[in-house]
C-alpha cells in the first residue's frame, strides 16, 4: 500500500503551528508509518516538489502576493487542504494590521520605532505586506478542514493527520476541540 504524501507550508504568521507539529514528539513514528511526510518541519524539503500530495497543510494568513501564490500552488497539488491555526482560519495576528491603513502600519513599524535602521525609511522588500488587508486562507482558496487554535495543540494536529493518512475524515466536534 502506498502511503499518502503529506506536505506543509506557511504564509504570514509566526510558524507556531509548525512548532506544534514538532510537538507531536515520538508519535511522529506512528505517523510516518501511515504517511509519507514530504515538505514539513520534520524533513529537509522546504516545498512539495510534485503533484499528488494527499494532504496539504497551510498555516498563516495571506498577507501578500507571494503568500497568495503559495496558497494556490498548495491547493493545486493536494487533494485535501488543511488550514492550520487561527491565522489561517480567520486571519489571526496578521489581520491585526487590517485595522490600520497599510501605509500607516508600515510607517509606524519602520520609521517611528526605536529599532529601525539608520535610513529611517520603509524597505523596498517584496516580502512586506503588499495587499490592502491580510486575508484568511479560505478567502483565497477552498479549504477542506480547519484546525483552529493559536497554535492548535499537538494532539489536535496528530489526530487530524492520523485520520487523514488512514483515509478517514476527522470529526472535529465540540468534544474534540477541548484539546485544541
pLDDT in tens, 104-162: 877 877 788 776 555 677 777 766 656 778 889 999 999 999 988 888 888 888 899 88
Does the reported pTM lie above 0.85? no
- In whole numbers, what is the pLDDT of the chain averaged over residues? 78
The percent of residues above 70 in pLDDT, for the chain, comes to 80
* Distance separating alpha carbons of residues 141 and 139, to the nearest angstrom: 6
Domains in the chain, start-ordered, CATH in brackets?
Answer: 5-91+133-174 (3.40.50.700)
Closest Cα to residue 146, out of 178, 117, 177? 177
Amino acid at each position: 500500500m502506498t502511503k499518502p504524501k503529506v506536505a506543509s507550508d506557511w504564509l504570514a504568521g509566526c510558524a507556531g503551528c509548525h512548532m506544534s507539529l514538532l510537538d507531536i514528539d515520538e508519535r511522529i513514528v506512528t505517523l510516518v508509518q501511515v504517511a509519507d511526510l514530504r515538505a514539513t518541519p520534520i524533513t529537509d524539503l522546504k516545498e512539495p516538489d510534485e503533484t499528488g500530495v494527499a494532504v496539504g497543510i497551510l498555516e498563516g494568513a495571506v498577507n501578500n502576493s507571494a503568500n497568495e501564490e503559495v496558497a494556490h500552488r498548495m491547493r493545486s497539488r493536494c487533494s485535501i487542504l488543511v488550514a492550520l491555526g487561527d491565522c489561517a482560519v480567520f486571519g489571526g495576528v496578521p489581520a491585526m494590521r487590517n485595522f490600520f491603513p497599510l501605509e500607516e502600519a508600515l510607517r509606524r513599524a519602520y520609521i517611528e520605532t526605536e529599532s529601525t535602521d539608520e535610513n529611517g525609511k520603509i524597505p523596498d522588500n517584496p516580502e512586506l505586506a503588499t495587499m490592502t488587508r491580510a486575508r484568511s486562507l479560505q478567502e483565497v482558496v477552498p479549504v477542506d478542514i480547519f484546525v483552529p487554535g493559536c497554535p492548535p495543540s499537538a494532539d489536535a494536529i496528530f489526530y487530524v493527520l492520523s485520520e487523514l493518512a488512514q483515509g478517514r475524515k476527522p470529526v472535529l466536534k465540540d468534544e474534540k476541540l477541548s484539546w485544541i
